[in-house]
Structure formats: C-alpha cells, structure tokens
Amino acid sequence: FEKARVVFEPTPRRSLMAKACTHNYMVLNVADNVNASLHFYKYVGEGKFEYQEPPAGQQAIPIGCDVQVRAVYPKTLDDIFLIKDGYLEPDKLEIASAKDCATTTETLYSKPHLFDSTNLMVEQHQATSKDGTKVPYFMIRHKEMEFNGSNPTLVDGYGGFEIPLLPGYAAGVGAVWLQRGGVKVVANIRGGGEFGPEWHQSALRENRCKAYEDFEAVGRDLIERGVTRPECMACIGGSNGGLLVGNMLTREGAALWGSIVCQVPLLDMKRFHKLLAGASWMAEYGNPDVPEDWKFLKNYSPYQRIHDVCLQPGSTWKAPETLFTTSTRDDRVHPGHARKMVKRLQDDVPPEKANTVLYWENTEGGHGGAADNGQRAFMWALVYRFLWATIGEKAKPDCKLLSKL
C-alpha cells in the first residue's frame, strides 16, 4: 500500500454514497450535508487519478434532489447513466459523459408528474439539538407561504439502523398535502445513515434519546422560524419511526405536537425482542432482559412511559390527537405493539388527557400495512384525512394560503 493515494476522504458532514468507473474516469457520488453531488476523476496512468474541475456554468444538483450514477459500457466508453429524482421531480433517466463532467445531459425517459409543483419549493435548514449538534432538515412548501406560525406542517423522521432519509418523489404527499397548502418536513436525525456510521452509532442503545432530542429540535426550530405552532404541527413515522413518534407522544406530547400518525410501530421495549424479528434488533436498542440495558430502555419505551412518566402526580402531559395504523399480518413488528398502546391510552388515561386516540388495523399487507394499491390508497387517504381534520382545521382561521388553494 506504499503507493496508495487518498482520492476521497469523508468528513463528519460529507460521505461517499457510491462510485462508478468508466473507461477513463471515476465518478464519485458524494452526499454533502445530505445534498447529492458528482465528482469526476480522470485516470492519468500509474494508478493516479486527477480531479476534474467542472466547466464554468455547470448546474449543481438542486437541493431536494437525489442522483444515482452508472457506467454505460466501461470497457470502451466514458458515458454514464444518471438516475435522478427529488421531492418535486419524478424519476428521470439521463445519459451524459464523464468527459465534460456531465455538463450536457440527454433525457432518455421520465416518469410523469403526478402533481403540479410549479408553485412549490424545497429548502434546507438546520436545527440545534439539546447537546449542540446541528441537525439538517428539508422543508417542502408553497412559494406564497406566510411565516405567521399558522401553516399545517407534517414532520417525518426515522433515525435508526443507519438508514438515510434522502430526497424522493412521493406523488401522494404532493397531491393531497403540498398542493393544498400543507408543509412537509423531513428531519435527518441521528441514528440514520445520512453522515455515515458515526451518525448512526451516536444514537444507539443508551444514546437513543439523542435521536428524539434531534427531532424535537427540528419541531422547535419550525416554530421559532414562524412556519407553524404546536397545534398546527404533526409528526409521522413508521416501524422504528413509529417508536420515534411514540416517544414524541409520551415526551412533549401536545405541548409540541398537534397530532401524531404512528404506523406499524415498535412501542413496548420490554418485550420487543420476544416478538417476531425483534431479537435481531438488540444491537440497535439493547437487551431488556439485562438489568443494565433496561435502565435506559425504559426511558424510551412509550408503552411503559404512559404509567411511569406521563400519569405521575404533578404531570401536565396531554396526548396529541393520535392515529395508529398497523397490519394483522405484519411479520416484522408485531401488531400487538399498537394494539396494547391504544388500549392503555383509552383505558388508563383520563379522557381529558387523551381525547382522540384512533386505531386502524388492516388484515393484510405485512410490514407495509397494505397488500395492494387499493389498500395503500385507502390507508394514506385515512392518514391525510386525519391530518386535515386535526392540524388542518386548527390552521384554517389564520392561514390565508389554505383559503386560496
């Protein structure tokens, strides 16, 4: 390795997502603060690569867009395929050349636009978490949105298993939420893979609450910036993201969130390892049968927190309006998590502290919650009807944009 040379070195906010090699070039797909960028290196012999400065006027990949790169035929060609999509752009296949750093592209195929994004825009901001960590988030909104704290805002997150939340096209979000004046936020919290293994490992086991502090920081930043206010802000998450929003329910509750959508969730951290695939997640969360692990696990187990924290004397906690969805045939996260959580909220919590707890269980569909497009459409129609009936109604009196659209 004496002749080895560093071509790319990651930083805390910059990571290598993929690479492609053509006949004479190496193309690196780099995530820089969760924004995609392509970097071109020309092979000059003797194992050496030289960085190619992009030509003047080359357009960078827009914020809120993602790209994948593939070599067309590396044995003889320097052509590359670019697969692009984003929050406002459907999947598109382009062909370009590494010789000019993909300055000129030709579209080979593009999926149709399924909602009008003309008056929509994507921004990226960052919030400061409890320990000072900067947490990036994307915000997709209408260009005419007023910063008066009255916009219905849906915050999405995951924060686990080194899975990054990258930009992607979601027609349903655009058609039934964004076009009607809603704001969508995607929080890139710790536990995910946006910045590589360290970002993930910083929220494992006893540090899991770092992910939840990050998510709360994003919510507070949206309030401070005048985007929304607690009664007009909802959060949504599924699977490990269901555990995330389950903690939002039992931590700040209605003090920060107007409503919550909790999908195929993990909620009882005392028994998660005994149900279906749960035992395989102990490296992520811990082993509740080990007393030292249970000491920290119980702090982010929503099912236990209802009794241990939320209903303790002197607590001012109230539950936001909440919708739980799951599937009888979920083979990954047992539907018992959602069932028992709903029962506890309905039976053990006084009505004045949890006045709206809704539950929908599909009998098919596995961990995705739906077995076909018809069931999937019904499930998401239910979710967005719930959101418009909760935070949407609370935003209506002050949000002029809602009356225009």
Spatial neighbors of 181 by CB under 8 A, at least 6 apart, are 142, 145, 151, 152, 399, 401, 402, 404, 405
User: Which one from 97, 150, 239, 259 is the annotated catalytic residue?
Assistant: 239
| Torsion sign across C-alpha atoms 256, 262, 266, 270 | positive
Tokens of 10: 């990651």
Concerning whether 129 is annotated as a catalytic residue, the answer is no
Tokens of 208: 């899991």
Distance CA 299, CA 279 (A): 19
The closest of 97, 99, 98, 66 to 83, measured between CA atoms, is 66
Q: Reading across the β-sheet that carries 25-32, which strands appear in turn?
A: 14-21, 25-32, 35-45, 48-51
The beta strand positions in 183-266, using DSSP E, are 183-187, 233-238, 259-263
The closest of 284, 126, 129, 294 to 217, measured between CA atoms, is 129
User: Which one from 23, 113, 125, 367 is the annotated catalytic residue?
Assistant: 367
Concerning whether 334 is annotated as a catalytic residue, the answer is no
The closest of 210, 148, 204 to 181, measured between CA atoms, is 148
Would you name the residues annotated as active-site residues?
239, 367
